[in-house]
Amino acid sequence: MGSLNNVETTNKPINPLDPEEFRKQAHLVVDFIADYYSNIEQYPVCSQVKPGFLTETMLKLAPLEPEPIETIMQDVQNHIIPGLTHWESPGFFAFFPCTASIGNFLGEMLITGFNAIPFNWLASPAATELEMVVLEWVLNLLQLPKSFWFSSDGGGVLLGSTCEALVCTLVAAREKKLSKVAAEEGVLEKMVIYCSDQTHFSLKKACGVVGISPQNVRAIVTTKSMNYELSSLALLNAIETDLRSGLIPLYVCLTVGTTQTTAVDPLGTLCEIANRFDMWVHVDAAYAGSACICPEFRHFLDGVEEATSFSFNPHKWFLTTLDCCCLWVKDRTVYTKALSSDPEYLKNKPSESKQVVDYKDWQISLTRRFKAMKLWMVLRMHGASGLREFIRKQVKMAQHFEKLLSRDKRFELVVPRNFATLCFRLLLANQSSCDGDINMLNKQLLESLNATGRVYMTHAVVEGVYVIRVSIGAVLAQDKHVSMLWDLLQEHAEVLLAKYVTPQVISTLV
């Protein structure tokens, strides 16, 4: 037991949550952030600091005494901001967008302010029920079938990431299968997972977490001729081959909007095949799910009604910040059986009545944030029409950029555009140029564009072809930013092409 000797004393009365101090200092930070958004274009989009810029300069010891907010915010301005990559900058075209909004911000303030921890219903009934309300709203916006809802045998939950959704559904699929197959040694080593070579790497990682060896993950090869979609014939062949080897096909992950090229796997036929072998089918629409609230994009989800589970990330393109992933499952009994536990200290009457949802049984961790609040605020403050308008505006900008690209014969659009992400490359006029040279050229082009600090884009490699990826989606991006990107692209392409004489020259430029 601790004694109370050696107590340090300070003269200030202690209330780290004093409402009037809170009010004063939080107002100050609101203004700081509003100013940050006003000035965001003055910062290089991708940070240009060097490794160790902060770890080598910051003190190794925490401050002993409290410091004034003014000093701290000055450090944020002078030392933190230069080291940020500005995901909300209108010049951010990298990865996928991660879209902040006013509604989301206010929701996050309330989440932190209330700090309710809804691991079970009683721990904050409003947090659990608002999660159910908002997930039903989104289910309806996406026109997902009612079989994914609590009124049938299904249900939904807000998780932190797609990877978490994959781990949870893999565990549920594994436990379901284990309860059906004969209990024999090494049965876990026989379970096989299927996806395409375009599936997000998180699936392989999630398999590793749940104890499925990488050797049992079949990443089926896709091709340009099929727009990098998973072929149903190839899936069928892979499953049948594994069955002949005595393996157990367990789970297939389909993607609506793959990470590299936003390819859309044909859900209908693929689900049909998987269901034939009693497999779990998860549909990951992390990025493109958002677009599917617009009727003109909804067809990309056709066939989802035959899936076992479906997830998408509002924290990508749905005006919501990290972390927020919606997962719906068709059989909540199977799903929660694999993840639930009932320790004594959490026992309570509402849970025992079975009339409530205890979300601790829907995820890996016990603790959870009141995430529903921010998604609810986003939907109320911006409305379904606001979200659709936002998505459509971005798609229009992408269409415009696509048109500019397609008119300029120096560029090649490597895959057709599905949403607001484009994959293209600069070509070499010399017909004999090999892909290696063109790859190097595009790598240089991307690096020189990013080095300007005005834009940040990333790359992908499909069938050995290096492509520059532009994902339009930053909330603050307007037409003028797409024009700026186009001007920059032309300017840097011209400089590079002018330098180009022979492939050898390119090599020396690296």
**Site membership for its own copies, residue 65 (CB under 8 A):** yes
**Site membership for its own copies, residue 167 (CB under 8 A):** yes
Of 75-94, binders to its own copies (CB under 8 A) are 76, 79-88
Of 271-310, binders to its own copies (CB under 8 A) are 291, 294-297
**Site membership for its own copies, residue 475 (CB under 8 A):** yes
Tell me how crowded residue 165 is: count the other CB atoms within 10 A of its CB.
Answer: 28
**Site membership for its own copies, residue 247 (CB under 8 A):** no
**Site membership for its own copies, residue 95 (CB under 8 A):** yes
| CA-CA-CA-CA torsion sign (470, 472, 474, 476) | positive
Of 417-446, binders to its own copies (CB under 8 A) are 417-419
**Site membership for its own copies, residue 510 (CB under 8 A):** no
Give the Cα separation of 50 and 57 in Å (integer): 12
The one segment of 237-245, 304-312, 378-386, 486-494 that binds its own copies by CB under 8 A: 378-386
Among 44, 45, 136, 444, binds its own copies (CB under 8 A): 136
**Site membership for its own copies, residue 344 (CB under 8 A):** yes
Size of interface with its own copies, in residues (CB under 8 A):
179
Contact 294, 388 (CB under 8 A): yes
Question: In sequence order, what are the beta bridge partners of 159?
Answer: 325
Contact 282, 223 (CB under 8 A): no
Among 91, 160, 249, 289, binds its own copies (CB under 8 A): 160
Among 44, 45, 91, 123, binds its own copies (CB under 8 A): 123
Residue 97, token pair as written in the block? 């967008």
Alpha carbon distances (Å) from 339 to 149, 165, 169, 178, 314: 19, 12, 10, 14, 24
- Cβ at position 447, least distance to its own copies in Å: 9
Residue type, 400: H
DSSP state string for 95-126: SS-----HHHHHHHHHHHHH----SSGGG-HH
- Cβ at position 96, least distance to its own copies in Å: 10
**Site membership for its own copies, residue 42 (CB under 8 A):** no
How many angstroms from the chain centroid is the CA of residue 267?
20
Of 174-233, binders to its own copies (CB under 8 A) are 174-175, 185-186, 188-189, 200-202, 204-206, 208-212
Give the Cα separation of 494 and 258 in Å (integer): 31
Residue 354, token pair as written in the block? 């079975």
Tell me how crowded residue 159 is: count the other CB atoms within 10 A of its CB.
Answer: 26
Give the Cα separation of 510 and 505 in Å (integer): 9
- Cβ at position 364, least distance to its own copies in Å: 6
Residue 320, token pair as written in the block? 């919501």
Alpha carbon distances (Å) from 129 to 339, 371, 479: 20, 12, 40
For its own copies, which is the closer residue by CB, 95 or 486?
95
The one segment of 216-224, 230-238, 239-247, 456-464 that binds its own copies by CB under 8 A: 456-464
- Cβ at position 98, least distance to its own copies in Å: 6
Cα first-last separation, the chain? 64
Among 182, 345, 429, 504, binds its own copies (CB under 8 A): 345
**Site membership for its own copies, residue 451 (CB under 8 A):** no
Among 44, 45, 46, 256, binds its own copies (CB under 8 A): 46
**Site membership for its own copies, residue 332 (CB under 8 A):** no
- Cβ at position 417, least distance to its own copies in Å: 7
Contact 248, 184 (CB under 8 A): no
For its own copies, which is the closer residue by CB, 275 or 348?
348
